[in-house]
């Protein structure tokens, strides 16, 4: 229809199909054209880039990503939106650079093996790839926690998450937001909140603000050089240690059956939440690798 905005057109076309958004699938669509363009412009993408998008939905961000010339590998859980996206993309600039996988990005709490098969088919790794997503809130935590653990992490990430989760991703030691999620992410990436985003730019509107967060892979980060079992054990170590985040470290270590680790009494009196990411990696290494203790 003439005079329709992109969002009005989308609403009409989805309405004609009897589509209504599912809150269970975190379907809060981005409708602000300026924000969509600015997110797609975060990393100056070009024809040589490979982008993974989790949850393309009806494709408002996907279209902007394709316009950069990048190849886009998208994972969408909802088959109604998948079918809609395929039809729409046929008329877009570089629409033939979109590869859509219909399915869950997670399998048993881990990133789906299908993601790594599809990446490998496109040469990644060693080819670097970028992850861009308006992440459905229901999977944001497990997706982000697994990025550094997965063995083929993205070189960079730009994602929209709920504001509180953004704070946790970029949290510093000693703050109430600091915990296993942020530590796992920061052990592999530099994390930064780029901007706070109001509920107004989504339809339907979520109840809380969002954060646009960027992550950049820390080349040479020691977590990335570890074998998969050791990375997984580090995740378990953090979860168990932070179950008593405000108690002295000596209690947390005792709970793990890891006594002392040769630390001084002053060190053992510190609380887990006061330890920086490198200190926690070092502590884990001492117990798990040097002393052969299990988690």
Q: Which of residues 74-103 bind ligand SAM (CB under 6 A)?
A: 75-78, 81
Whether the CB-CB separation of 288 and 295 falls below 8 Å is answered with yes
Give the bridge partners for 196, in sequence order.
Answer: 211
Residue 186 contacts ligand SAM per CB under 6 A: no
Quote the least distance from Cβ 194 to ligand SAM, whole Å. Answer: 16
What sign does the CA torsion over 36, 116, 155, 122 have?
negative
Q: How many residues does the chain have?
A: 295
Q: Which is nearer to ligand SAM, 30 or 281 (CB)?
A: 30
Name which of residues 104 to 143 contact ligand SAM (CB under 6 A). 104-106, 134, 136, 138-139
Tell whether residue 28 is a contact of ligand SAM (CB under 6 A).
Answer: yes
Q: Which residues pair with 106 in a beta bridge?
A: 111
| C-beta separation of 238 from 280 below 8 A | yes
Contact set for ligand SAM, span 222-261 (CB under 6 A):
none
Distances (CA, A) of 75 to 30, 101, 167, 272, 280: 17, 5, 26, 36, 34
Return the number of the residue (73 or 275) whose C-beta is nearest ligand SAM: 73
Report which residue's Cβ sits closest to ligand SAM: 55
Per-residue interface string for the shown chain with ligand SAM, residues 50-79, x marking contact by CB under 6 A: ----xxxx--xx-------------xxxx-
Nearest-approach distance from CB 286 to ligand SAM, in angstroms: 37
Q: How many residues bind ligand SAM (CB under 6 A)?
A: 24
| Choice between 49 and 76, CB closer to ligand SAM | 76
Question: Which tokens is 40 given?
Answer: 């797609």
Q: How far is the CB of 26 from ligand SAM (least distance, A)?
A: 5
The phi and psi torsions of 125 (rounded to 5 degrees) equal -75, 165
Task: Please answer whether residues 169 and 184 qualify as being in contact, where contact means their C-beta atoms are separated by less than 8 angstroms.
Answer: no
Residue 256: CB atoms within 10 A of its CB come to 16
Binding residues for ligand SAM, rule: CB under 6 A, are 25-30, 54-57, 60-61, 75-78, 81, 104-106, 134, 136, 138-139
């Amino acid at each position: 229809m003439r005079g329709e905005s992109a969002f009005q057109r989308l609403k009409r076309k989805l309405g004609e199909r009897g589509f209504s958004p599912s809150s269970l699938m975190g379907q809060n669509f981005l409708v602000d054209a300026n924000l969509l363009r600015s997110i797609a412009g975060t990393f100056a993408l070009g024809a040589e880039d490979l982008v993974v998008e989790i949850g393309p939905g009806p494709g408002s961000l996907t279209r902007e990503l394709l316009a950069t010339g990048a190849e886009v590998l998208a994972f969408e859980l909802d088959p109604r939106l998948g079918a809609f996206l395929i039809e729409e993309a046929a008329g877009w600039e570089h629409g033939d650079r979109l590869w859509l996988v219909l399915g869950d990005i997670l399998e048993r709490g881990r990133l789906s093996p299908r993601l790594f098969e599809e990446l490998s088919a496109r040469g990644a790794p060693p080819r670097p790839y970028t992850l861009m997503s308006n992440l459905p809130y229901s999977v944001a935590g497990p997706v982000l926690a697994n990025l550094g653990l997965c063995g083929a992490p993205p070189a960079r990430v730009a994602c929209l998450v709920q504001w509180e989760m953004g704070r946790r991703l970029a949290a510093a030691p000693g703050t109430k937001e600091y915990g296993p999620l942020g530590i796992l992410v920061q052990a592999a990436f530099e994390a930064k909140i780029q901007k706070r985003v109001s509920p107004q730019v989504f339809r339907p509107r979520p109840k809380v603000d969002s954060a646009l967060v960027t992550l950049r892979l820390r080349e040479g980060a020691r977590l990335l050089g570890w074998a998969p079992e050791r990375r997984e054990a580090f995740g378990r170590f953090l979860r168990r240690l932070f179950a008593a985040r405000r108690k002295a470290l000596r209690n947390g270590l005792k709970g793990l059956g890891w006594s002392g680790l040769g630390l001084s009494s002053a060190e053992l009196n510190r609380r887990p939440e006061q330890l920086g990411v490198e200190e926690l990696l070092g502590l884990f290494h001492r117990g798990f690798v040097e002393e052969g203790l299990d988690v």
